[in-house]
Amino acid sequence: AKNQGRNSYRFFTKALQDALEARAALLGDLRNALPDNQFALCYQPIVDLLSGDVHKAEALLRWQHPRRGLISPAEFIPLAEETGLIREIGDWVFESAAKQVQTWRSNIHPEFQISVNKSPVQFQSLEHAPEDWFAYLNRLGLSGQSIVVEITEGLLLDANLVVHNHLMAFRDAGMQVAIDDFGTGYSALSYLKKFDIDYLKIDQSFVRNLSEDSNDFVLCEAIIVMAHKLGLKVIAEGVETAQQRDLLTSIGCDYGQGYLFAKPLPAELFDQQFGKSS
């Protein structure tokens, strides 16, 4: 038994060591990803449920790793956040999305909007300030309205002065703000009053099992009624079936996003499917 204990101890140390080494290697690779041009953005349409129009898209980050192939943001974003690399990466995401929205404003719709995900870590420093983003939009001749910033509830719950100023600066520049994954956080709804928010994105966990007699249906309906009374638009995430789309439309949901309409697509494919010429 003594021997066995020692073996499993060795096993765990080895496993832990391997995990730490893998993490260190990934981190090293992540530092090179931006300079080596390994990032790309995919765009997923956000569909107006009443008209079917596609005048919005969410930018989603992809990392093409030289040896491992495509790595999911769920794996590398947390690492980028811990190390602060997310700030530079986030600026790159923003600038790429801005260039793209400039194109789509001219060849899809003049009010086209692209939303970008902004991690709480990107709100923690005075560098990478919102002013730099506006200056960039200005240089491209774009209004603030061309970009929507997606944040999570957690950011607003423990919002300090820096976060507050960031959000105020967005407002002043006309940029819109969406609450991502709505309903999965602590949902202290008071922040909806305190901050000027434009969109709620209902998390896909509420949409997944949607049927007429489900609790999720009641919750979605309540969220939509509340949001509309507060003057916000609602986007449902993870719409995969026509039934989900129809139920969401029947309770007044404004927009849908999900595999039913399209997976996140490289810009060229998005253009082919949703551009004017299509």
* Residue 73 near ligand C2E by CB under 6 A: yes
Partner from Ca ion, ligand C2E, none binding residue 29, C-beta < 5-8 Å depending on class:
none
Residue of 168, 165, 83, 95 lying closest to 119 (CA atoms): 83
Q: What is the CA radius of gyration of the chain?
A: 21
143 DSSP assignment: -
Residues 87 to 116 in contact with Ca ion, rule: CB under 5 A? none
Q: What is the phi/psi pair of residue 199, to 5°?
A: -135, 145
Give whichever of 181 and 221 is closer to Ca ion, judged by the CB atom: 181
* Residue 179 bridge partners (DSSP): 151, 200
Task: Compute the distance between CA of residue 7 and CA of residue 5 in angstroms, rounded to an integer.
Answer: 5
Question: By rule CB under 6 A, what string of x and - marks binding of each residue 81-100 to ligand C2E?
Answer: -----x------x-------
Question: By rule CB under 6 A, what string of x and - marks binding of each residue 103-142 to ligand C2E?
Answer: --------------x-x-----------------------
Taking the complex as a whole, how short is the minimal distance between the CB of residue 66 and ligand C2E, in angstroms? 20
Partner from ligand C2E, Ca ion, none binding residue 73, C-beta < 5-8 Å depending on class:
ligand C2E
- Contacting residue, 7, 72, 125, 272, with ligand C2E by CB under 6 A: 72
Task: Compute the distance between CA of residue 137 and CA of residue 113 in angstroms, rounded to an integer.
Answer: 13
Q: The tokens of 168 are what? A: 């105020």
Is residue 261 a contact partner of residue 239, using CB atoms and an 8 Å limit?
yes
Residues 212 to 251 in contact with Ca ion, rule: CB under 5 A? 237
Binding residues (CB under 5 A) for Ca ion: these are 117, 150, 180-181, 196, 198, 237
